[in-house]
A and B are shown apart, each in its own frame.
Chain A
Amino acid sequence: MKQSALSIDDLREAVMRLPDDSLTATREAALASLDEQGFPSIRDEDWKYTDLSSAIDVSNRWLAQGAKTESTDALRKSIKAITASIDAHWLIVANGIVDLTCFGEPADIEVEKFSDSATPFVMDRPLADLNAALLHDGLRVQVHGATEKPLGVLLIDETSGGAGVTQANVDIEVAPGCDAEIIEYQVSSGSEDHYANSVIALQIDQAAHVSYVRIQNRRAGHIQTARLSVALSADARLNMASYDLGGGLVRNDVDIDINEAGADATFNGLFLAGDGQHIDNHTRVEHRVGPASSSQEYRGILNGRCRCVWNGKAIVHKGADGTDANQANHNLLLSDHAEIDAKPELEIYADDVKCSHGTTVGQLDETALFYLRSRGINKRQATQILTHAFAADLVARAPVATAKDAITALVEKRLGELIKEEDL
């Protein structure tokens, strides 16, 4: 099947309707680049499991409707509920519009809009081009010191009146020696058709430590493509955990660049998928120098008719001796119709390296299930207990304490939905 094409003329019109400001030149350059490169297609190795046709269709419908984005009446209420549930300095991008009303006045975090900033931003991938072309505005954040509350980045979409397409772009730098906690929360409701495309860049300066949690809880059927690029300087540390709970078609790209020695990146992920969901986690770690270490563990729980992808790539460049890279992916398939494509990839060009990878795909342990049932616990509850235990380990690893209760509640709720009475 041929992938539909983005209506580039309609897109050009939409770009021209955006405010004429300091971003105009970048938008136009991004548009030209997108026109040349097109959308990623399943013919590209990196996209062979994830077909973006539906994202293109939603975009074309949105463009045909005049690229209008109207907020639902409930948007403010949703924002309030989330920002109240997790105490943080919240930077918000609501339906593509930056919003600083829940940020407060932290002494050690500086924020400016892209449109007010002298620093240009450069994008070179098709989805980043789309992001730059249609970007209303972005946020540049600098964390200078320890803050009493985490930094929150809430990307919320709640549009009404037909298809919606939104872009978010946040650029964060954590200054040398700083400890920072960051929460990224992507959520949506509203119109049935929505495509959200985000780009977040995180620079962790020398000896700075970042604890990062990502929560994705979009409405069923909604499309998300999200790129998170993290660059680590000497002795910098990243401890991250991602939780993918909702959405229809979700593609997360996590790129980690280890640019200087002594850096350590630990990033884990949990994805829960049910009927109609497609969740694709692509991770890529570039070990450019050593010694340095990276470690990732992604776990998936799949039920019903769904498909998930985990593709973990580690590239150890020539001369990056003393690299220690580990990757693991474990999946629990609770239905015959669930599919996981798990692909660990190692490219090693250095001599003195330690790399490991492991992938498992399986069902619940029958012996454990019988053990619980023999204690009077019914099959449904036993299945739930064992599935929760599989997820609980990754919930326990959420590195931002403030967000843990919210994550626990969201994971429990989603698992409750996934394991239904009629399945058992």
Chain B
Amino acid sequence: MLEINNLKSRIGDTEILRGLSLSVNAGEVHAIMGPNGSGKSTLAQVIAGHDDYVVTGGEVTFMGKNLLDLEPEERAREGIFLGFQYPVEIPGVNNAYLLKAAVNAKRKHQGLGEVDAFEFLKVAREKMALLGMDPKFLNRGVNEGFSGGEKKRNEILQMAMLEPSLAILDETDSGLDIDALKAVAEGVNTLRAPDRAIVLVTHYQRLLDYIEPDFVHVLSEGQIIRSGDKSLALELEEKGYDWVREAANA
């Protein structure tokens, strides 16, 4: 589904991704771990198309298409979803309005008509109940005055409504207490599907207790230096990132 080959990217004059390769297939859950500054968030932003990050080399294809040719909105409509580490507060834009505009943008791209307003609200409320969100959040400004946990749930709500083929969740666990973490993890788990891939970007192993990955990759200085199954995450937790780095350099 997603093929990344020797990807290089910089922000300003700083090179962050230095030849990163990764292959993600439908139905898989990948965890990308690594110390601060290793390039985890950059990878997520580059895949979503943030133009602060300049791609200086390599290829990224998504379902056979050259992803780097597409605008951020085109990538989203093709089925890529980025769950933000810091979801943006947008006062004056109604949460339900954004959800509906996003759903309709994708439907239009697929050649479908606009979503039925009644049906849309019904589905949104169901998904919110699943995530333990109060329906009143639909009528608030996007993330406006939301707590950290509410913002992350709202990201998962958007993901649930948009039903992406590839979801990249950037530090979805950061700033969450254990109850919020469980609710978010449960939301993500219900979205696991044979035709959907999920990439979890995380600093800590904690999230992986609740969302079990098929593959774990360690990112360091802009490259994946080690890949393994979920046991790698546990090993990391125990031995720290230096251990992998030393092993990689040896």
A interface residues with partner B (beta carbon < 8 Å): 365, 367-368, 370-379, 381-382, 385-386, 388-390, 392-393
CA distance A370 to B53 in the complex (A): 12
| Cβ of B217 under 8 Å from chain A | no
Shortest beta-carbon distance from B17 to chain A in Å: 18
**CB distance A390 to B92 under 8 Å?**
yes
**CB distance B105 to A389 under 8 Å?**
no
> Taking CB as reference atom, which chain B residue is nearest A378?
B73
| Cβ of B117 under 8 Å from chain A | no
CA distance A385 to B88 in the complex (A): 14
| Cβ of B193 under 8 Å from chain A | no
Shortest beta-carbon distance from B177 to chain A in Å: 24
**CB distance A375 to B87 under 8 Å?**
no
CA distance A379 to B76 in the complex (A): 13
Q: List 30 A-B contacts (CB under 8 A).
A: A368-B90, A370-B50, A371-B87, A371-B88, A373-B49, A373-B72, A373-B73, A374-B49, A374-B72, A374-B81, A374-B82, A375-B73, A375-B98, A375-B102, A375-B105, A375-B158, A376-B102, A376-B109, A377-B101, A379-B71, A379-B73, A381-B101, A381-B105, A382-B73, A385-B93, A385-B97, A385-B101, A388-B92, A389-B92, A389-B141
Shortest beta-carbon distance from A204 to chain B in Å: 31
User: Which residues of the partner chain A approach B90 to less than 8 Å between Cβ atoms?
Assistant: 368, 371-372, 386, 389
CA distance A375 to B97 in the complex (A): 12
Q: A368-B90, A371-B88, A389-B90 are in contact. Are A377 and B71 (CB under 8 A)?
A: no
**CB distance B88 to A368 under 8 Å?**
yes
Interface size on B, residues (CB 8 A): 29
**CB distance B92 to A392 under 8 Å?**
yes
**CB distance B93 to A378 under 8 Å?**
no
User: Which residues of the partner chain B approach A372 to less than 8 Å between Cβ atoms?
Assistant: 90, 98
Shortest beta-carbon distance from A408 to chain B in Å: 13
**CB distance A377 to B93 under 8 Å?**
no
Shortest beta-carbon distance from A380 to chain B in Å: 10
Shortest beta-carbon distance from B89 to chain A in Å: 8
* A-B complex: 3 closest residue pairs judged by Cβ atoms: A389-B92, A376-B76, A376-B105
| Cβ of B200 under 8 Å from chain A | no
> Taking CB as reference atom, which chain B residue is nearest A375?
B102
> Taking CB as reference atom, which chain A residue is nearest B86?
A367
Contacting residues of chain B (73-89) with chain A, CB-CB under 8 angstroms? 73, 75-77, 81-82, 84, 87-88
CA distance A389 to B142 in the complex (A): 11
**CB distance B106 to A376 under 8 Å?**
yes
CA distance A368 to B84 in the complex (A): 12
CA distance A393 to B90 in the complex (A): 12
Shortest beta-carbon distance from A329 to chain B in Å: 18
**CB distance B77 to A376 under 8 Å?**
yes
| Cβ of B48 under 8 Å from chain A | yes
CA distance A371 to B81 in the complex (A): 11
**CB distance B73 to A376 under 8 Å?**
yes
> Taking CB as reference atom, which chain A residue is nearest B104?
A376
User: Which residues of the partner chain A approach B158 to less than 8 Å between Cβ atoms?
Assistant: 375
**CB distance B93 to A373 under 8 Å?**
no
CA distance A368 to B141 in the complex (A): 13
> Taking CB as reference atom, which chain A residue is nearest B76?
A376
Shortest beta-carbon distance from A32 to chain B in Å: 52
CA distance A382 to B76 in the complex (A): 14
**CB distance B72 to A370 under 8 Å?**
yes
CA distance A375 to B81 in the complex (A): 7
User: Which residues of the partner chain A approach B84 to less than 8 Å between Cβ atoms?
Assistant: 371, 374
